[in-house]
Amino acid sequence: MSLKDDLKDIRDQGLDDINKSTDLKSLNNIRVHLLGKKGPITSALRGIKELPVEKRPEVGSYANEIRDDLTKAIVEQRDNLANAQLNKRLAAEKIDVSLPGRSVPQGQPHVIQQIIDEVVDLFLGMGYQVLTGPEVETDHYNFEMMNLPKDHPARDMQDTFYITNEILMRTQTSPMQARTLEKHDFSKGPLKMISPGIVYRRDTDDPTHSHQFHQVEGLVIDKHITMADLKGTLLTMAHQIFGDKFNVRLRPSYFPFTEPSVEVDITCFNCMGKGCDVCKHTGWIEVLGAGMVHPNVLNMAGVDSKQYGGFAFGLGPDRFAMLKYGVDDIRDFYLDDVRFLNQFSKRGI
């Protein structure tokens, strides 16, 4: 066997090994073996010097040719293997962008809080301050300062949870009127405030009564405030919360802390005033109590009722929510059933 034949065998065997290699690591081993210093080509080249001088160039260039062939084959095979490996990875890690994403459950304000937020936003825009007060209140602020002395029969209008003789769960947000009047400095300007919060009454729970519910108190005191201001304010609110088509109506009523007192109706949401079962065929639904602040309330809080006067109102967000969404049982708001509450999602979840 001539050296040339040896080289040809080396090439055939080498190409065979290269093409059969299935991963980059074994291909690299083949490369090191074939082309390395201890490899068959190097040792064949070493044998050249044993050949007659005239044969050397031919065999030498043949050896180089073989080395080039093998090198080329290795590079090609390396590309093939690398591509195959990449394709395998791409297939394994494929992302199906058409799959819907996983939604992250997000909370939202309770439907009653949503109503309160709307009311608060509206009044903030009209320059009112927003104040909150204690739910555990004194008899003094809840009743006496609201012109309801101890033996006053109107106390029965609001069945009360007493903690002691003097401490109770507030039955209304009206004590915030007295608390604010006491603190307000009229030399700095008129008093305009709303006070949202929770109130408690010892009612037996039924579809329209809960022992716990919400109120938003409103109070405006200045010189020259009239009942027209009250009506305009209430109309603005009705438009904001319910819509422009709603009207308000004031009916004479009685509260110890306002004189005159009114009960405020808005257009029945169900029949828009035509008369239906919901509004007992009157076309109107009662939504809040209001009136011109009684001089006794002002005087007791240290405000001169000869100079100052104004209006107050107390509205029930629970009732607003019932009317706005046609909910017929107030207790549903307090059961914390997300299936019920999600119906009022602003995000539509």
Which of 31/170 has CB closer to ligand PHE?
170
Q: Is 291 one of the binding residues for ligand PHE (CB under 6 A)? A: yes
Q: Write out the H or E segment, with its range, that includes residue 25.
A: helix 24-35
Instruction: Choose the stretch contacting ligand PHE; rule: CB under 6 A; options: 7-15, 118-126, 184-192, 306-314.
Output: 306-314
Q: Is 309 one of the binding residues for ligand PHE (CB under 6 A)? A: no
Instruction: Choose the stretch contacting ligand PHE; rule: CB under 6 A; options: 83-91, 117-125, 239-247, 286-294.
Output: 286-294
| One residue of 200, 313, 320, 344 binding ligand PHE per CB under 6 A | 313
Strands (E), the chain: 129-130, 136-138, 167-169, 191-200, 212-222, 248-255, 258-267, 284-293, 309-315
CA distances from 144 to 37, 62, 141 (A): 108, 118, 6
| One residue of 115, 290, 303, 322 binding ligand PHE per CB under 6 A | 290
| Residue 327 Cβ vs ligand PHE, minimum distance, rounded to whole Å | 21
| One residue of 39, 309, 314, 317 binding ligand PHE per CB under 6 A | 314
Interaction mask 4-23, ligand PHE, x per CB under 6 A: --------------------
- 3-state secondary structure (DSSP) of residue 334: helix
| Residue 316 Cβ vs ligand PHE, minimum distance, rounded to whole Å | 8
| One residue of 147, 210, 258, 267 binding ligand PHE per CB under 6 A | 258
Interaction mask 228-257, ligand PHE, x per CB under 6 A: ---------------------------x--
Closest alpha carbon to 221 in 133, 144, 298: 298
| Residue 188 Cβ vs ligand PHE, minimum distance, rounded to whole Å | 24
Q: Minimal CB distance to ligand PHE: which residue? A: 314
User: What's the CA gap between 49 and 54, in Å, rounded?
Assistant: 11
Bridge partners, residue 27, by sequence: none
Q: Write out the H or E segment, with its range, that includes residue 57.
A: helix 56-92
Contact call for residues 47 and 103 (beta carbons, < 8 A): no
* Residue count, binding to ligand PHE (CB under 6 A): 10
Strands 136-138 and 248-255: unpaired
What is 71-116 written as a DSSP string? HHHHHHHHHHHHHHHHHHHHHHT---TTSPPPPPP-----HHHHHH
Question: Do you know the residue count of the chain?
Answer: 349
| Residue 173 Cβ vs ligand PHE, minimum distance, rounded to whole Å | 7
Residue 273, both tokens: 């005033």
| One residue of 147, 160, 174, 195 binding ligand PHE per CB under 6 A | 174
Binding residues vs ligand PHE (CB under 6 A):
172, 174, 255, 258, 289-291, 312-314
